[in-house]
Structure formats: structure tokens, C-alpha cells
Chain A
Amino acid sequence: MSDINFKEVLLKPIFKGNPVTVLVLGICSSLAVTVQMKGACVMALSVIIVTGLSSFVVSLLRNTIPNRIRIIVQLVVVALMVILVDQILKAYSYSISKQLSVYVGLIITNCIVMGRIEAYALGNKPIPSLLDGLANGAGYGLILVVVAFFRELLGSGTLFGFRIIPQSFYDAGYMDNGLVILPPMALILLGLIVWIQRSFQKDLQEK
């Protein structure tokens, strides 16, 4: 297993094999928690930690897991990580935890986490699995932050809660776009990102 290309493990999930735009996983939460940058960043960080640690732990256990109950074992490990993250958010970042509401708990059902465990962690050593998990989480987080950037900027005129679009624009008749706040626009933004990515990476286009 010494021939693992760490650069490829780390970079592929972020761009060429992005879990959201290429594999189209984790769409639900990327529509729901991208209204503001702050929430999106915390969500991204939570998913990075959960995918990384779950892949790592499952990879450590991979030779002991009974094959018949492996999905259940994976689920228990993922659930453990998610509840830990949820509890820590509730204790140290209560307002954001309220804003993310059920979506932290729903990381358990995020296909990216289970998908990477099944596809990678079960057959690879702990360190590459950890990196693969972190990178996939980061690929998801990147899309989340990009979508949140446009949604907060166009929808509320702010970034991280700070006003970006000056008051003079509003005085001149500019208005925040209420549609951007709603989930449908997030889906359209996501579609635009997929379009842009595919126009650069021709090999992703279906014949």
C-alpha cells in the first residue's frame, strides 16, 4: 500500500471528484444551511471532522468488523462522531447550533460519510483513510461556502454578518434578492457551479 498517492487522495475529492458537484451527494444539507456564511462554515467544519474521524476509526477496525453487520457498525461509528460534534456545538456555539438545528444530526445520513467509509476506509490503512475523509469533507465544505457566499451577499448584502453592500446602493434603489434566501435558488446556484466545473473538465461531460 506504499504506492498511495497522497496528493491525489487529498486533491481529487476537492475538485475533480467533488462529492457534491460530481457525485451529487449531500445536496439536501447544502441547500438548507447555506443562507449565511457563518452557519455554512461551521457545518463544513463539522462534516470535515465527522468524515475524517469516522473513516479513520472504521479503517482501524476494518479487519475486525463482521461482514454481515458492517453497515450497522459504520453507522454506530458515524453516529458517535455526529453526536459528539452536536454536543460540543451546543456547549460552545449555542446560537449557531440553533441555526443549524436538525442538520447537524442529519450529518449521520449524509451519503458522503457512509459512501467514503464503504468505498475507501474499509480497504485502506487508517492514515490514508483519515486524509480521504478529511478531503471529501473539505470538498463538500468548499461547495457549501461558495454557495453561502453568493446567497448571503445577494440575499442579505452581508458576509459573516458584516454589511458588504454599502447603504448608498440601497438609497439608490438596490434591493436584496429575497429569492436567493430560499432553497430553490441554492439549487440553481449549485447547478451553475456544476456547469462551470464541467465546462472546464471536459472528461466529466457525458457523451
Chain B
Amino acid sequence: MNTNGNTYTVIYSVVLVVLVAAILAFVAMGLQDKQNENIKIETITKVLTAAAQADENVSIDENTDVLEMYTEHIIDAFEVDGNGEVKGHLELGKDDPRKIKVPSTADLKKQNDILKKIADAKDEAGKTSLLESLRLPVFIFNINGKTITVIPCYGAGLWGPIWGYIALDDDGRTIEGAIFDHKGETPGLGAKIAEAPFYNSFIGKSLGEGETVFAVEKGKHDGIPDCVDAISGATITSQALGKSINLWAKYYQPYLAKAAAPVSEVSDTPVQDNACTGNQAAAEGDETVK
């Protein structure tokens, strides 16, 4: 047979490519569940690592069973809208760790797109409905008696998306821990946002009061009290990270403000019938929150 004819060559290449594509599609579909499971475990590890930085006695390494640790420490996980209203709970997996629900990076991207639309919205009505359509995830952990709130952030880095999880103290502002990840930042430069020396420098900083003012900048940061040193040679990635933290934290403010000041909320109602018991109720209310 002439294996060098045009017809033969064309048919040969078509058959080969279709065959290879079929094999790959079959394998990819077969392994997809397992791969998604791995990605989910990675996300859980990130969320947990951010929260665990609040207490140096809690550490996570390669041998930690993250699913078990997550169910052990998690108190609640839910989604809030742009007005700070809780809009639905995420499965905690207390009975079955395999059912734990965490938002994927695709989910974060979806929320990020809404955030961008809100910033561009022309009229108030459109803005309000967009704010209500937000579903921002919140994780509440109990790390050795401390209540830690973990919120994600997401944004565009230099080459692709960057995202991360920030653990906040119960005042809703002080950063107790942070961890970041990226799709394809430059190795050795922007990729360093995923390394401990960088994300550890966030600990103890504050997201700012009211309007969030937070920045990742290089050089002297005059007038910006809550600023983290940028990575040398990765200005764009660093600044993008600061911006995305700012953007996300802004829309978490309504929720964080509510969560940080439960005392005044609880005391409002009882005060009407008896001022004395009102204070007591406030104290109790405070207790339950902690």
C-alpha cells in the first residue's frame, strides 16, 4: 500500500486525531470527580490554613486530615448579599465530611463579575438589585475559643486570576491570617504571593474602619496605616491583590459591621420593657456570639 499518497495521509491523520481525542475525553470524564475532589480539598485546606494562623498551636501540614479538622473547627458557613443579609447556608459536613461545600474559584469569579458590575452600575435601582444578587461566602471558625471569620477575595493578577482567604478577628477588621493563590503568576516574582513570608506579613493589619483602606504597595507607605509591603519585581500582582482585597472587603462591610456589633442589636428590643434586664440580655447575647 502506498502510505505516502495524499488521500491516505489525510485519512490517516483524521482517524488518528479522532481516536486520540476519544481516548482523552473518556479518561478526562472518568477522572473528573476525583480531580474535583482534590481541588475541593485544596480549597478547604486554604480556608482552614487562613483561620488556623490565628492560633500558633493549630498547624496544618501534609499529614493533617483537613476534612476532619474542618468539621471539628467550623461553626457556620453561609452566603451573604451586599446588604449583609444571610442568604443561605453552605453544607458543613458534620455528618459526612465528603459533603462539605466550599465555593470554587469559578464561584468566586462569578461574584467578582457582579462586584465589577455594581461599580459600573449607572442607576440606583440596578445597583440595589445587583447588591441583593450577591452571594458572598463567609466561614465562621472556632479556633481554640477564638471566633474567626474567613472571607475570600478574588481578582485579576498579571497573567491570570489571583484569589485568597483572609481570616478576621471578631471585630471584623483585624487580620488574623491570610493565604493567597494564583493561576499563573510569574514563578519567583508574582507567584510569591502564595508563599508564607508574604502572607504572614498580613497578620495584625486591619482592613480599616468604615471605608476599607487597604493596600499592598512598595516603598514608604505614608498616610496608609494598613499597608503590606509589595513583592519586589511583582508590582502589578501586588497592587492587584491589594485592590481585590479592598473591593471584596467593601461589600463584606455591611455583614462584618452587623456581626461585629451584635450587642446593640440584641439590646434594642428588651430595652423597651425593662432597662435592667435589657443590659443582661445584651450580655447574654454577647456571650452566645462568642
Contacts and interface: CB of A to CB of B under 8 A. Distances in A.
A64 B3 contact: yes
B8 A66 contact: yes
Interface stretch (A41-49, A83-91, A120-128, A133-141): A83-91
B92 to A, nearest CB: 23
Nearest to A61: B16
Contacts of B3: 63-67
A87 B28 contact: yes
Nearest to A66: B9
A79 B12 CA distance: 17
B23 A90 contact: no
A91 B16 contact: no
A80 B34 contact: no
A65 B20 CA distance: 15
Interface string A87-114: 1101110110000000000000000000
A1 interface: no
Contacts, number: 54
Interface string B15-48: 0110010011001100100110011011000000
A73 B8 CA distance: 14
Nearest to B188: A182
A120 to B, nearest CB: 20
A76 interface: yes
A161 B61 CA distance: 12
A72 interface: yes
A7 interface: no
Interface string B78-110: 000000000000000000000000000000000
A76 B9 contact: no
Interface residues of A, number: 23
Contacts of A66: 3-4, 8-9, 12-13
Contact of B27 (A64, A68, A84, A92): A84
Contact of A76 (B17, B35, B38): B17
A91 B34 contact: yes
Interface string A51-79: 00000000000011111110011001101
Contact of B23 (A72, A80, A92, A161): A80
Interface in A153-170: 161
A165 B9 CA distance: 59
B267 to A, nearest CB: 49
Interface of A: 63-69, 72-73, 76-77, 79-80, 83-84, 87-88, 90-92, 94-95, 161
29 contacts: A64-B3, A64-B12, A65-B3, A65-B12, A66-B3, A66-B9, A66-B13, A67-B3, A68-B4, A69-B9, A69-B13, A72-B13, A73-B13, A73-B16, A77-B20, A80-B20, A80-B23, A84-B23, A84-B27, A88-B31, A90-B31, A90-B35, A91-B31, A91-B35, A91-B38, A92-B34, A94-B35, A94-B39, A94-B42
Given A66-B9, A69-B12, A91-B31, 4 more contacts: A64-B3, A64-B12, A66-B13, A84-B27
Interface of B: 3-4, 8-9, 12-13, 16-17, 20, 23-24, 27-28, 31, 34-35, 38-39, 41-42, 62
